[in-house]
Structure 1
């Protein structure tokens, strides 16, 4: 038997009354899924105080009120499952996302706090699951004319989104991104600089199309696609040198198959094994350092994400010949400005 109740989840007493009616009808709740939310994407100064308050009341306090209405009975028997449908917007703020993103950040914090509290109180029989779905073709999205433009993270169908969420709930995951690969969004955001994050956002096309055309006239960040490769000479010298250096340490016997210098490399690898270890560690540390410095220069030179990735990989392989080109470009840019 299925039954539904109309209620205002932002009303504390109304939510408690509804929870009691549900428990009187069906008994204690085994699982509570907090899914109600209001979507509003409006510029920071244009959103009305009334709409902002309503979004926060429903999205934040409504979620908390729902949990608190059912939690006491779960605590009494140390059993139950609380699920909250948050959003990827709970990990990354976005243009025009004052009300929605703010509320989803708060919901994520509330669920993490609840999960930690239940564990510390010894109530680990109560499971918590927080879901972070990307955009799906739900009425809430479509009626607001919101269209994500990212080609790498496609607009999900309702069926695909719901199946993945149900799977995460059944597996009792504490945190679940839907689809799972959007975990990359908070990972990249937290471990890269602001400039790299902005560049990646432009490269992937992660932004929203609002119903009001005037709100879509956002300033585009101009990024340079500058990339150059050193002469082939350096590729033919440095790459084999690194390979020979590694072989001398990892497998000196294989060095005997190298023409001309094989016997020398074999002798060094067998008689001075510790030295080859040091040279390999030094080369690795130097190339990692140069790659990180290349990343820093790309950030300062406002180079696009795609070109930055090329510079970092190339500099990690070749080292100074690649880094010197980038350094000259940054110096020239500084003089021009």
Structure 2
């Protein structure tokens, strides 16, 4: 993920900066703003979100105001009680991008999880994650990955 972000920046950013025009959109996922189980997945999302934040600050420090940035953080598709539909995510993201919104969390309740993480003691967001089911959101992926490793170890 991070290599892709860096390669993109090296390829397109110099011309965007020269023209003082463009829009960089980073898709990191909500787990780039707060973590849960599956540390390698979350770490890759944090890397993309951190790269985006640093890039945004760098553009502001150089007073390049014509190059806009948007961080899009959708929650896991089909993982909520009422699953997010890809088309709805795209529509929400495009609306935010076209309005130069700096960050887009989908669904909007994810903003709440991010704010809690930064304002309250460690135990409070942990309880909220449990209540919302965020603490177990990666369990299906973890089980699938472990089953695949088990099959590989057996030589299948």
Equivalent position of 2:43 in the other structure: 102
In structure 2, the gaps of 5 or more residues are 147-156
Paired residue secondary structure (1:110): helix
Equivalent position of 1:245 in the other structure: none
Query: Which whole-Å deviations, capped at 9, do the CAs of 1:213-253 have from their partners, x for residues lacking one?
Result: 797xxxxxxxxxxxxxxxxxxxxxxxxxxxxxxxxxxxxxx
Equivalent position of 2:34 in the other structure: 92
Select which of 93, 116, 121 maps to 1:165.
Answer: 93
> Higher relative CO (CA 8 A, sep ≥ 6), structure 1 or 2?
2
**How far is 1:199 from its partner?**
2.1
Aligned residues: 143
Whole-angstrom distance in 1 between the partners of 2:144 and 2:12? 43
Whole-angstrom distance in 2 between the partners of 1:106 and 1:205? 23
Larger Rg: 1
Query: Which whole-Å deviations, capped at 9, do the CAs of 1:156-203 have from their partners, x for residues lacking one?
Result: 011111110111111111111122231011112222223222222222
Select which of 170, 180, 188 maps to 2:116.
Answer: 188
TM-score (norm 2): 0.82
CA contact (8 A) 1:82 1:126 kept: yes
Say whether 1:69 aligns with 2:11.
yes
Equivalent position of 2:149 in the other structure: none
Segments ≥4 residues shifted beyond 3 Å: none
In structure 1, the gaps of 5 or more residues are 1-58, 138-147, 216-337
Whole-angstrom distance in 2 between the partners of 1:181 and 1:106? 22
Say whether 1:201 aligns with 2:143.
no
Q: Give the alignment of 1:208-223 within 5 angstroms.
A: 208=137, 209-211=139-141, 212=143
CA contact (8 A) 2:20 2:65 kept: yes
Q: How has the CA–CA distance of structure 1 residues 214 and 83 changed in structure 2, closer, same or farther, with 3 Å as cutoff?
A: closer
Paired residue secondary structure (1:95): coil
TM-score (norm 1): 0.40
Q: RMSD of the TM alignment (CA)?
A: 2.0
Whole-angstrom distance in 2 between the partners of 1:65 and 1:182? 29
